Structure 1
Amino acid sequence: MLQQTPVARVLDPWSEWVRRWPVPSAMAAASPGDVLRAWGKLGYPRRALRLHACAQVLAAEHGDVVPDDVETLLSLPGIGDYTARAVACFAYGQAVPVVDTNVRRVIARAVHGRAEPGNPGKRDLDDAEVLLPRAADGSYSVDAPVFSAALMELGALVCTARKPRCDECPLTDCRWVRRGRPAHTGPPRRTQKFAGTDRQVRGLLLDVLRGSADPVPRGSLDVVWTSDTAQRDRALDSLLSDGLVEITKSGLFCLVGEGDGR
């Protein structure tokens, strides 16, 4: 849920989610449509289907327990580098580097002296791993997971993108500050707009289907976006292609798995 979504938006849906489905097998037994409906307005709804597929694998192959090693986690549906390492580190206390946007920015400034990080890549993991605290014998310190969490919080609360609070930073040596905080000279940071995009139209179409207990006729979907019918049709086609929506035998539209042969 936290992939590309702020914590504040996730808290309420997550609380309801784990109350309803406290273990993977509980979610695995639900229909994909139920999962999409519970996902609500979190956005990027394909994540919900991947989470449902992941729950099915956990229930069938892992005894209803989330694995604790990165490689096994990476084999699960919808689990990428960040999520696999975040679970291993924060849920199981393993000393593995966890890199998100905030961590990349802290490292870019404190270690490399740049205002902004470059393109994501394996180097990010290497940079984060070098920083993990170690014991006298060279092994990772038991504090490594706490350090990873602290690095993320530092980027989220102090070393922020637009107004870094350098006077409050606990780091005593930041290369970016020593260089006089030079401005970013690379390509401008891209911002994702939402209004008027296919993402917005897809969300409006899904809202109709989530709000109905029964499949709906095409007309109920057409009215949500009349300013650009080609865009609306494209958005609906993409929902069908992504397996989020299906058409019943009688030509009605519903969330996937809710057609009941009609």
Structure 2
Amino acid sequence: MSSLHTAASTRATAAAPDLHRAVTDWYDAAARDLPWRHPSRTPWGVMVSEFMLQQTPVARVLPVWRTWMQRWPRPANLAAESPGEAVRAWGRLGYPRRALRLHAAAVEITERHGGRVPAAHGALLALPGVGAYTAAAIAVFAFGDRQTVVDTNIRRVQARVVTGRALPARSLTAAELRLAEDLMPSDDALAVRWNQAVMELGALVCTARSPRCGQCPVRDACAWVAAGRPEPTEAPRAQRWHGTDRQVRGAVMAVLRAGSAPVPARHLTGPVDQAAGAGMPPEALRALDALHGLDAPEEQRRRALDGLVRDGLAVSGPAGVSLPG
């Protein structure tokens, strides 16, 4: 561990009780009312939220999560459907491979865990699509287990409050994990609240671009504020969207989600065909118009379609391209 992080860990350990109290008291008063935090939440509801919230804002997740939970309130309900239906219901959340992985996890839970999300951290980690962060988050927020959860928001709060940096490194480091463990309360219930509270603080107050330091419950203890709020050593990368393969993939997926019948590949990758919309429902026809309205080169549309098939998000057959059955 670097001398910077060694000193930070020492300070963090000494200041931890005061930080715990200030941040959790703030959370009790300021936390958003989210359904996956309610006392009535289920482990499955928490798991679905964790899959959906990866790289996706809460405001976009909420309506899709509610619809999803009404349709598939238990893993077995989703497992009984085709993977394509999971992708269709994913809508415009982005990164639709998460839907395939969540469906595969639901099948695994149904077949190997009696339809119940397993509580053991190791069993969670063995599920399809569940990595270290997601396993820890489900264990903590669904089962009250004492695990160290480190997401982007938590990393940013740690970087500023404890190490005095404007932003964390682009990739999670071992030093950051050790620092998060040093800050964890020993009491299980307080550890759960601490994880939730720090995550919420990063989401609502200690934001990446415009932190609201005047509203921060630990401003007086913040090493970054004390240092005069220095600029980040690495500027955040802005992700380009327009004209990218990701945009074209999303437009192709919108066509496939909107229809129930296979779509001939030439309608997706070739030039505009006035007969292309024959027999397609209005929503699918609008999605096809939007795809062609991007003016993406045919080669890019073909590359996007090939990638979707390769990733299992689309299936190509004699009648055309459709969502996986």
Q: After superposition, what is the alpha-carbon deviation per residue over 1:84-139, rounded to whole angstroms, capped at 9, x for unaligned?
A: 111111111112111111110000011111111013133332211211123xxxxx
Q: 2:89 aligns with which of 38, 49, 62?
A: 38
- Any idea what SS the aligned residue of 2:163 has? coil
> Is it true that 1:155 corresponds to 2:206 in the alignment?
no
- Give every structure 1 segment of 4 or more consecutive aligned residues whose post-TM-superposition deviation is greater than 2 Å: 121-125, 222-227
Q: Where in structure 2 are the equivalents of 1:56-67 lying within 5 Å?
A: 56-67=107-118
Q: Where in structure 2 are the equivalents of 1:173-188 lying within 5 Å?
A: 173-185=221-233, 187-188=234-235
For 1:68 and 1:126, the matched residues in 2 are separated by: 24
For 2:73 and 2:224, the matched residues in 1 are separated by: 45
TM norm structure 1:
0.91
- Any idea what SS the aligned residue of 1:55 has? helix
For 1:238 and 1:14, the matched residues in 2 are separated by: 27
> Is it true that 1:253 corresponds to 2:321 in the alignment?
yes
TM norm structure 2:
0.74
Give the corresponding residue for 2:173: 121
Q: Where in structure 2 are the equivalents of 1:48-59 lying within 5 Å?
A: 48-59=99-110
For 1:254 and 1:31, the matched residues in 2 are separated by: 12
> Is it true that 1:104 corresponds to 2:173 in the alignment?
no
1:220 is displaced (CA, Å) by: 2.7
1:163 is displaced (CA, Å) by: 1.7
Which residue identity is paired with 1:44? Y
- Any idea what SS the aligned residue of 1:247 has? strand
Unmatched runs of 5 consecutive residues or more in structure 2 = 1-51, 273-290
Which residue identity is paired with 1:177? V
Q: 2:63 aligns with which of 12, 29, 33?
A: 12
For 1:21 and 1:91, the matched residues in 2 are separated by: 18
- Any idea what SS the aligned residue of 2:221 has? coil
Give the corresponding residue for 2:257: 210
For 2:261 and 2:148, the matched residues in 1 are separated by: 46
1:36 is displaced (CA, Å) by: 1.0
Which residue identity is paired with 2:116? V
- Contact 1:115-1:181 at 8 Å conserved across structures: yes
Give the corresponding residue for 1:241: 310
- Any idea what SS the aligned residue of 1:84 has? helix
- Any idea what SS the aligned residue of 1:253 has? strand
For 1:18 and 1:141, the matched residues in 2 are separated by: 28
Q: Percent identity?
A: 53
1:23 is displaced (CA, Å) by: 0.8
Which residue identity is paired with 1:56? V
> Is it true that 1:142 corresponds to 2:189 in the alignment?
yes
- Contact 2:144-2:188 at 8 Å conserved across structures: no
1:227 is displaced (CA, Å) by: 3.3
Q: After superposition, what is the alpha-carbon deviation per residue over 1:141-172, rounded to whole angstroms, capped at 9, x for unaligned?
A: 42110011110111111111112122221113
1:251 is displaced (CA, Å) by: 4.3
- Contact 1:208-1:220 at 8 Å conserved across structures: no
Number of equivalenced pairs = 250
For 1:69 and 1:195, the matched residues in 2 are separated by: 42
Q: 1:164 aligns with which of 200, 211, 233?
A: 211
1:238 is displaced (CA, Å) by: 0.2
Give the corresponding residue for 2:241: 194
Unmatched runs of 5 consecutive residues or more in structure 1 = 135-139, 258-262
For 1:167 and 1:127, the matched residues in 2 are separated by: 25
- Any idea what SS the aligned residue of 1:13 has? helix
- Contact 1:70-1:84 at 8 Å conserved across structures: yes
Q: 2:120 aligns with which of 24, 44, 69?
A: 69
- Contact 1:25-1:64 at 8 Å conserved across structures: yes
